[in-house]
Amino acid sequence: MENKKKICDMLLPVLQETRNLHDLADLEYDDTSETVLATFASGAVKRANVAMDSGSSMIRDIIKQIV
């Protein structure tokens, strides 16, 4: 099984280098609800549902749901 927390930790600095998500402050994976909490520098928070996702599907879903 893939380590979804590690994927979020590694994905964060990559997304911060993009124009659309340069203000992303944190990605936090919650294994209980299988969601990712995206926190922005402004204080805004978005939640991405990644239930039943593979690692690569999780990355796509996070981007699609927080941009």
* Cα-based distances in Å from 35 to 8, 18, 19, 41: 11, 22, 24, 20
**pLDDT at site 48:** 98
Q: How many domains does the chain have?
A: 1
> Which stretches in the chain have pLDDT values below 70?
none
**CA pair distance 42, 51, nearest whole angstrom:** 27
**pLDDT at site 3:** 96
**pLDDT at site 1:** 74
Q: Which residues constitute the domain of residue 32? A: 4-66
**pLDDT at site 10:** 98
